[in-house]
Amino acid sequence: MTENDTEKININVTQKQECFSGNHAFLSVGEIIGPGMQRTIFEDTTENHNKVMLNLLAAGGALDVKIRTRGENCDRVISATIPANSIRTFQVEDFKSLEVANNSGANVLFVFNIFKHFCICCNDEGCCEKNCKNECTNDEYNECDKKDTGKAQCFVGNDPAFALGQTVPNNTINRPLFENFTKNHIKIGFTVSSSEPILITIRYREDKDCNRPITISIPANGTRAFQIEDYKSVEVSNSSGANAGVGIVFQNTICICCKDRKHKKCRVDENKCICEHA
């Protein structure tokens, strides 16, 4: 182990965090998986421990599934077959992705219900804006830190699930579906379905993966589910040649850290806005 590795571990262990549990549900109305098709249905890019129950149905033919979970040094793959007109249920932990393949030679209706319990650990980010090394780089954070060293008490909030639908016109490029302007840790689960092929782009805050986006394709009449954390925006693009009907179900679980203050304000100091939150 190098010196840098030791420093990183020490920082992670000594960081003051409060951990809680949250839960999200991902439900589909069903989609047709054609012969020879192979699809990634669900992807989880979060890092905390989780336990997931997957309830999977195949009607009209059999489907092969691969459930990937995170291991210490490698992914573990659970391979199984859902017989025609049957339901199989799996409970796993440290879930990463679900893939399906149709080798039956017939169109197969696939329906999933996925229930996820996960850990979410919170600490008071305050005014911190982080770089790729997870370091606070802005002067505003240093100023806030000097003014108030009192410990914030952290909680977790679970938003109810929201469902919405909209038409995304052809030739749409990176239209924002969600935008996140908060600084505390957050996890969001969402399920997206579309009548036409679309692209979903997920952009993270600067402290995760250097703000490198993830781009995911959703086929016509397809459904994809995701769980992500510390996102900056989720955007949609449509170059299919037709307007796309897009349905979205999403649910947030958020950290909120509180201090007892009589006032909160934002003041200007040398053309910089110094943030304060209660």
Rounded Cα–Cα distance for residues 42 and 225 (Å):
5
* Pair of tokens at residue 141: 């954070």
Q: Is 211 helix (H, G, I), strand (E, B) or coil?
A: helix
- For residue 50, the model assigns a pLDDT of 94
Task: Write out residues in the chain with pLDDT < 50, as ranges.
Answer: 1-15, 141, 145-146, 148-149, 262-263, 278
Which residue, 186, 210, 47, is CA-closest to 122? Answer: 186
Q: Is 115 exposed, middle or buried (0-12, 13-18, 19+ CB in 10 A)?
A: middle
Alpha carbon distance 51, 34 (integer Å): 30
Residues 98/165, Cβ–Cβ less than 8 Å: no
pLDDT at 163: 84
- What sections of the chain are H helices per DSSP? 3-14, 139-147
- φ/ψ of 102, rounded to 5, equals -110, 105
Q: Which tokens in the block code for residue 83?
A: 């017989």
* Dist CA 100 CA 110 (whole Å): 9
Q: pTM of the full predicted structure?
A: 0.73
